[in-house]
Amino acid sequence: MSDDDQLRRLLSDAVSEVEPENRLDELRASVHPRPKVVPMSRSRSWYAATGILATAAVIGVIAYVASVSIDKNTAVGPATDPGATRHPATATATDTASGPTSTATGGTATKAYAVYYVGTDPKGKPVLFREFHRGPASKPTAALAVDDLESTPLDPDYSTAWQRGWLKDAKLDPNAGVIFVTSARTVPSSRPAGVTPEEATAAVQQVVYTLQAAFHTRLPVQFVRRGAPVGHVLGVRASAPIAQGKILDTLSRVNISTPNEGDVVSGELNVTGVNNAFEGSVAIYLQRNGHKFLVSPTIGGWGPDKLFPWQVDLDLSKVAPGRYLLVAQNDDPSGRNKPEVDTRAVLVR
C-alpha cells in the first residue's frame, strides 16, 4: 500500500467526532506538503501579526478577497536564512492514533502522531492547538505523545505546563472504559502559583485530547498513581475519569495542520487545517514586513461542535524567497478586529 493510500485510510479513520467524514475528500491525503520541506529555526522575533480581514460570506468570496489589504507588488527582497535546527520537520494528518509508517533518511521507520498544546484565543482565553510530530515507528504512539507533552512545542506561540517526568506512561483499558495515565509524585495536586484555573483546565485537557488521539478513542482519561486514582492534578479534580471538553470551548477555532513551524518550502505549498467560523470563512496568506501575499479565502465549516477541514494551494513562485509568516485567519463578523488566528513561520526558497 502506498504512503498516500495509507494516509487516506488514516484520515478516514481519524476525524470522527472532530470533523465530518463527508469533507475528508477535500483534504490532501499526505503527511508531506508538496514542496520539499526541511526544518529551520523557530525564532520569530522579526514578525508582526498585523492586518485584519473583512467579513466574508459564502456567496461573496470575490468581495472577501477584494476587502483584504494586499500589497500588489508580490516580489520582495531576500531575507536572511534561519539558524540551526532545533526540531525535526513533522508530519501532516488530522486527529490520529498513529500516522502511516514511512522510512526516513538513514533507513529509520517513522510515524506521525498528534500533540496538543496551549495557546490563546482572541479574548486571551487558553485554548488547545494541535501539532503533528513524527517519531520512531518502533515506539508506541502513546509513549511518543507523552514525551512530547513534556517537551517544548515547535511553535513558540504554544506552551505546555507539563514538566519532564511528570507523566510516566499511558495505557488504554477498553474493559474499564478509560485511558490510564500514570502521574509522578512531583505533579502538583494544587494549582501552581501564577497559573489561572482556566490554564490548569487547559493543561489537563492537553493530556486528554493528546492521549485520545494516540489511542484513537474518545474514552475519558484517568490520572493514577501507584494504581489508585489521583485526587487533584494542577488543582483540577481528577478522582474520576476526565472526559474531553467541548470542542469549541476547548480547541482553537482555527488550526494549521501543514506546513509545520520552521519548514522550508518551495514550489506549490499545500496548506491544510481545520476551522469553525462565521459561514465557514477562513483566509490563508503569507505575511512579511506588514504586507500580505497570496491571500486565498476558502471555506471550512460553521455550526455544530466540530472543526471542519480545509486546504489551499499557494503558488510560491509568485513571491520572492525569504522568511514569511503563514497565517490562517477566521472571519470576524463582530467588527472588533479580533479574529481567530493560527500562524506558522516558514522559509520560502
Q: Is the peptide bond before 259 cis (omega within 30 degrees of 0)?
A: yes
The string of pLDDT tens digits covering residues 255-313 is 999 999 999 999 999 999 999 999 999 999 999 999 999 999 999 999 988 999 999 99
- Asked if 299 contacts 309 with a C-beta cutoff of 8 angstroms, the reply is no
* Every domain of the chain and the residues it spans: 22-86+255-348, 102-250
DSSP 186-255: TS-SSPPTT--HHHHHHHHHHHHHHHHHHHT----EEEEETTEE-SEETTEE-SSPBPPPPHHHHB-SEE
- Grid cell 490520529 — which residue? 96
Nearest CA-CA partner of 275 in 338, 340, 202 = 340
- Asked if 101 contacts 110 with a C-beta cutoff of 8 angstroms, the reply is yes
Domain 22-86+255-348: give its CATH code: 2.60.40.10
**C-alpha cell, 246:** 467541548
pLDDT number for residue 334: 75
The string of pLDDT tens digits covering residues 142-164 is 999 999 999 999 999 999 999 99
Q: How confident is the model at residue 104 (pLDDT cuts 50, 70, 90)?
A: low
Among the listed ranges 27-31, 109-113, 133-137, which one has the minimum average pLDDT value?
Answer: 27-31
For 174-183, b where at least 16 C-beta lie within 10 A, e where not — what string? Answer: eeeebbbbbb
pLDDT number for residue 97: 35
The string of pLDDT tens digits covering residues 20-56 is 333 333 333 333 333 434 333 333 322 233 333 333 3
User: What is the chain's length?
Assistant: 349
This prediction has a pTM of 0.76
